[in-house]
Structure 1
Amino acid sequence: MNLNTLKYFFKETYHALTRNSWLSLSSIGIVTVSLIILGASLLLVVNGEKLTSSMESSVEITAFLNEDVGKVERDTIEEKIKNTPDVASVEFIPKEQALQDMKKSFGDRAELLESMEDSNPLPDAFRVKTTEAESVPSVAKALEKIDGIEQARYGQGVVEKLLTITHWVRLASAATLTLLTLAAGFLIATTIRMSVFARRREIGIMKILGATNWFVRFPFLMEGIILGLTGGLLAVLVVDLGYLSLIKRLQISIPFIQLMTDQNTLLTILGGMIGLGVLIGALGSWFSLRRFLKV
């Protein structure tokens, strides 16, 4: 490709964008709106995954020990728990610490538990975390079979419902994101196809005069890339400013809800939006031209 040909391509791309300004603006608008919806949905999915993972990570098993368990036997029980499949960590909770934790949970009403100081009825226990939340019920059953453990509690009934909910949330998020991606691609490709259709005579004349498919296609390809890039940048600007504003508002009004703030993840999502805009713009132009190149 020589310099004159390159100048011609840039000149044709510029003329096409300015000559069909309203169509170009509508294409950019559709790319922007589509990517905003897609980006916002992706952030929603990421935060939903963060929330469900946080809920699952908080699920733990409390294995209560028999009253007559001594230190030597307790160490043996701890070793057996560590060797149980799917166990990630084990922490011994003496009954004195359990009482203090209970007082903290009572807050201003902690004085109600003062009478328990002399005769603490709480048993020693092990706090057990599993590698996966789905393993909690099976691990709890395995722990109850260990001699010296009276019972293993993890919130039976509630945990199973929680795991079911998080499973369906993940499936719904994945399905929604897939549908939105396909819808965005369809809208953007359709808009670019309209731009190509409006210039079908120009394409036909160039083909009759002997222009190669590549020579005809390249300016349209550049046009699609510019439209996709512009729409992607505008969408990133809106999503980024909107998301940062949402984080600040939630930190003030609902501080216990923590949204995803990891900069690497956020930059990956925003960069992906720009890349997707460019890719769809290029592919939309490429495939939309195929039928008009058959002259």
Structure 2
Amino acid sequence: MGMSFHSIGYLFKEGIKGLWKNRTMSIASICVLISCLLMTGIAGLISLNLSSTMHGIESNNTVTVFLENGLPSLTAVQIGEQLRALDNVSECTFVPKEDGLKNVIGGMDTEHDSDLFAALGEDNPLPDAYTISLSDLSRYEETLATITAIEGVDKTNNISSVVEKLNDLDRLVRYVSLAILVVLGLVSLFIISNTLKVTIFSRRMEINIMKSVGATNGFVRVPFIVEGVLIGVFSGVISATALYFGYDKAVEVVYGIVKFLNIIDLRPYGLTLYIAYVLVGMLFGVMGGVISIRRYLKKEGENAIV
């Protein structure tokens, strides 16, 4: 048992030694793998936030119905009665154009709201409107078609086109992220396996001696797999840290520009992010190590047969 622990310690130490000895190639491997993990993570977060935003928009059962400008008050009241009579409308509230203008100006965060409101005076460009709540969102399109057919209704804030555009953007992000993962994943494996190939080449004499005294292929593989795992762990930790803190800063900037987005809070998932990135990094490292040492052992086996 003591010998087993000693062997594990020796092999682990050899892996660290190989990583340090070929540090230039190791750093290159880490940088490429960080790029792969970061770009995939960024694309994944964009996709999740788009999905969250679409879900938030789709679950919003409030619709604004804009009336034609200049309608008589009596006509506006009659339109309200027609809207309330629809079986899919649960609530209906009249919003006079003066209130609509106040809401628009107030949303601009200006320091002179009252001055701007007074300056516009009678030249209010907004029409009267109704805000309605729908009972059944599955009948969204059908209900909006009925509403727009009512005489005196100008338009509604139909969000289905927004959802469709976000859905197209989400699909594009997923395709791009998959392409990035495939391309950078292959590049990462190539760089890692070549890094380990340099280590194997520099230690070929030692490997041959180990093989001549009865070392198994598994024993020979371990230091290089350890080296690959360490590359993966370093890459995973650095990537997760950069993504975790960079995401918070990006959210502040984006949310300051686009208010309607449903931004996902990454903080509760910090530990999960680190674990996932380290495991994925280790997987790439192990695969790189296995590919490089297998090629070498296979080549040596063929040479021995010859």
Q: TM-score, normalised by structure 1?
A: 0.68
Do residues 289 (structure 1) and 282 (structure 2) align? no
The equivalent of 2:179 in structure 1 is 179
Q: Which of 257, 273, 276 lines up with 2:277 in the alignment?
A: 273
Residue 77 of structure 2 corresponds to residue 67 of structure 1: yes
RMSD: 4.1
Matches within 5 A, 1:161-240: 162-198=162-198, 199=200, 201=204, 202-240=206-244
Matched residue, 2:132:
126
Task: Indicate conservation of the 8 Å contact 2:28/2:191, yes or no.
Answer: no
Matches within 5 A, 1:85-96: 90-95=90-95
* Whole-angstrom distance in 2 between the partners of 1:126 and 1:103: 19
CA deviations on 1:53-95 (whole Å, 9 max, x unpaired) are: 5477188533579733787x76652xx216xxxxxxx542134
Deviation for aligned residue 1:281:
0.8
- Residue identity in the other structure for 1:110: F
Q: Indicate how the Cα distance of structure 1 residues 287 and 66 shifts in structure 2: closer, same or farther if over 3 A, else same.
A: same
Distance 1:124 1:193 in 2: 65
Q: Is the Cα–Cα contact under 8 Å of residues 221 and 286 in structure 1 kept in the other structure?
A: yes
How many residues are paired up? 270
Structure 2 counterparts to residues 42-53 of structure 1, below 5 A: 42-43=41-42, 45-47=44-46, 49-50=48-49, 53=52
Match for 1:110 among 102, 106, 117?
A: 117
Q: State the one-letter code of the partner of 2:182.
A: L
State the 1:282 CA deviation: 1.5
| 1:21-79: CA deviation from partner (whole Å, max 9, x where unpaired) | 242453244324432453255235524653575477188533579733787x76652xx
CA distance, structure 2, for counterparts of residue 231 and residue 45 of structure 1 = 18
Distance 1:115 1:181 in 2: 58
Contact 1:140 1:153 in 2 (8 A): no
Residues 22 and 195, structure 2, Cα contact 8 Å, conserved in 1 = yes
Report how far residue 265 of structure 1 moved: 4.2
Select 1:81's aligned residue among 81, 88, 91: 88
Q: Is the 8 A contact 1:204 1:293 kept in 2?
A: no
The amino acid of 2:275's aligned partner reads: G
1:277 partner SS: helix
Identity %: 17
Q: Structure 2 unaligned runs (5+)? A: 68-74, 106-112, 302-306
CA separation of 1:124 and 1:215: change in aligned 2, threshold 3 A: closer
8 A contact 1:61–1:153 mirrored in 2: no
8 Å Cα contact 1:140/1:154 also seen in 2 = yes
1:6-35, CA deviations, whole angstroms, 9 ceiling, x for partnerless residues? 322332332343255242453244324432
Structure 1 gaps of 5+ residues are: 83-89
